[in-house]
Structure 1
């Protein structure tokens, strides 16, 4: 038991040294601009490689779905062909007046019982006609739906393939640039070690911590409408127009009341952009972004990540887009005031202003 505890402690100490080593080195020997750019490129390669693997997985899934849809399409086309002749016969009967003979037979009956019998037969014939026509229409609709899904999936698959080509080209260019810098460096081995340590820290700690902060922020945004409703000074009305004003200090107080992770994290509103910045232990994070009004799938105010800086290193746009897709950092005006829509959002120094109007 003591031996296992000793080994665990040793392992923890080794991991801690590996993780923190680059940052002690930075403090003792500040990075040159050239080295910082080299580390950024190395980190971008890691992140874009991760995006490539993710995209390859999505491409495989899309291709599998496309193959399945192609099989369904063939089956539906066979079903359409099988029922085509029956449908044509029914339609031809109506256009050629053959169904009028049934009405003639009904009118020529000589007794009530014969009339009812012929009426039942006619009803059965018409019902069968309706069933055949309805089945054909349903099969045709299903065929069109499947074709639409196939077309949409083909477009998505094409986009995924193009994205893969683009990202692979980016990685190739970045790798060539890194190799060139290392080749021309007098201390290439030290730079390689520094890149490996930075990449290991990002993969083992940095990525997890960044996603943890974004997850906490997304969870907090769910409660923001209730906070604004309870804060009487945030909302003003003028006729059918409303204005929501959020001070940066109020937002920071709200976030810290939601999660202690924001105790070392602060939001700053500037003209046209919002900055979130914080530091904890050996991790520094800075997020720059802006808000836009979106009307699809519903009216909302969405946050867009323009820049993500981890320990002084700018991460690639692929990481920004992934965080936007995985975490909803927007909020929805109808949750604050029913029957309204946001039509303008403005960021000023220290203030976020949202203008709303009644959705008539």
Structure 2
């Protein structure tokens, strides 16, 4: 459970206790000034802590996958029941629609037309015409009702097929993540057994895990939420700024320097006062430190068109207090927080076609989408 304060009391007290308890542990120490465990001073200890945090995060991913799998199984059951019920209802409609089509095929409806021609006077003609309209409209309603139910049934079957495929993928992902956790657990156990002080290292791992769950995860999510909120206001910033949005009549270009973006972000949220973006070699690197916390997000912007045209930020690397977090954490954060830029929020008739991040500049090319 995340504690929504910046420096929770529990991790602080534990850090103080562990400082005096683990002064003899060579792989990592605690400072009296710090509210968080310091990064280990050896590659071996750092890798051990990364693996331990990965186990925690992948366990959370397993919980999310298990929950999603149960939702998909429930949905599949509901769809199957719905398909059965619709199948029973549509049978009667099918029979009625068949009777209508047979009547046209056999020429029964043409007899009504001949009745119109045989009317002896104008009043009789209009009475037959009204009767003819009623029958024709009823035929149309019968065929339309069958067509609608048939389409609904076909749609439900397609939903069930897609859901079944997704369920298979989710189950496969669950198996792979369980295997991954088991391998990491064996790896961590081996490293602990090889340690000169296994018990102290176990307690150190527990402290890092506790700090991550009570402080780290909250801080990471706070930064991602701030980024997501800022991206919603980026179109307005681009429109109100000079020389950022340019056009030659057909091609529109957003050309923004990292200093301009960082100024915008700092005006959006104070969290960015110690957090900055950098654009180099096709990468987008956002990093910063605040007190005892450090965070690095490395990724890239890519153009996507599904479900809608956007510049999506893809996180390739996520490092908290110099410990790299697993891909499951990156994926979960990307799913929870939308950090994409939508050109149509800037100008409704534009779509993004290309994006690059070089020489401290982010450049987005857009074309008319008419």
Alignment counterpart, residue 148 of structure 1, candidates 143, 149, 158: 158
In the TM superposition, 1:250-261 aligns within 5 A as 250-261=260-271
Q: Which residue of 2 aligns with 1:248?
A: 258
Q: Which residue of 2 aligns with 1:16?
A: 12
Question: TM-score when scaled to structure 2?
Answer: 0.88
Task: Give me the CA root mean square deviation.
Answer: 2.1
In 2, Cα distance between the equivalents of 1:81 and 1:215? Answer: 52
Q: Which residue of 1 aligns with 2:58?
A: 48
Q: 1:94 to 1:29 in 2, by over 3 A?
A: closer
- Contact map agreement 1:248 1:268 (CA 8 A) in 2: yes
- Contact map agreement 2:39 2:322 (CA 8 A) in 1: no
Q: How many residues align?
A: 349
Task: Report the Cα offset of residue 303 of structure 1.
Answer: 0.7
Q: Which residue of 2 aligns with 1:25?
A: 29
1:229 aligns with 2:239: yes
The answer for unaligned runs of 5 or more in structure 2 is 1-7, 20-27, 32-37
Task: Report the Cα offset of residue 172 of structure 1.
Answer: 1.0
In 1, Cα distance between the equivalents of 2:302 and 2:17? Answer: 40
- Contact map agreement 2:40 2:46 (CA 8 A) in 1: no
In the TM superposition, 1:123-142 aligns within 5 A as 123-142=133-152
Alignment counterpart, residue 77 of structure 1, candidates 78, 87, 93: 87
In the TM superposition, 1:112-127 aligns within 5 A as 112-127=122-137
Secondary structure of 1:297's counterpart equals: coil
Q: Which residue of 2 aligns with 1:90?
A: 100
- Contact map agreement 1:20 1:282 (CA 8 A) in 2: no
Q: Which residue of 2 aligns with 1:62?
A: 72
Alignment counterpart, residue 334 of structure 1, candidates 323, 328, 344: 344
- Contact map agreement 2:39 2:321 (CA 8 A) in 1: no
Alignment counterpart, residue 311 of structure 2, candidates 276, 301, 309: 301
- Contact map agreement 1:291 1:302 (CA 8 A) in 2: yes
Q: 1:191 to 1:173 in 2, by over 3 A?
A: same
Q: 1:103 to 1:228 in 2, by over 3 A?
A: closer
Structure 1, residues 306-355: CA drift from partner, whole Å, max 9, x if none?
A: 00001111100011111111111121223334533222211113221222
In the TM superposition, 1:135-284 aligns within 5 A as 135-284=145-294
Task: Report the Cα offset of residue 283 of structure 1.
Answer: 1.6
- Contact map agreement 1:244 1:354 (CA 8 A) in 2: yes
In 1, Cα distance between the equivalents of 2:145 and 2:39? Answer: 77
Task: Report the Cα offset of residue 29 of structure 1.
Answer: 8.6
Secondary structure of 1:298's counterpart equals: coil
The answer for unaligned runs of 5 or more in structure 1 is 1-11
Q: Which residue of 2 aligns with 1:343?
A: 353
Structure 1, residues 103-162: CA drift from partner, whole Å, max 9, x if none?
A: 333333434444343333333222222222111111111111111111121122112111
Secondary structure of 1:25's counterpart equals: coil
Secondary structure of 2:339's counterpart equals: coil
Q: Which residue of 2 aligns with 1:7?
A: none
In 1, Cα distance between the equivalents of 2:81 and 2:39? Answer: 62
- Contact map agreement 1:87 1:132 (CA 8 A) in 2: yes
Secondary structure of 1:37's counterpart equals: helix
Secondary structure of 2:183's counterpart equals: helix
Q: 1:332 to 1:29 in 2, by over 3 A?
A: closer
- Contact map agreement 2:11 2:211 (CA 8 A) in 1: no
In 1, Cα distance between the equivalents of 2:337 and 2:283? Answer: 19
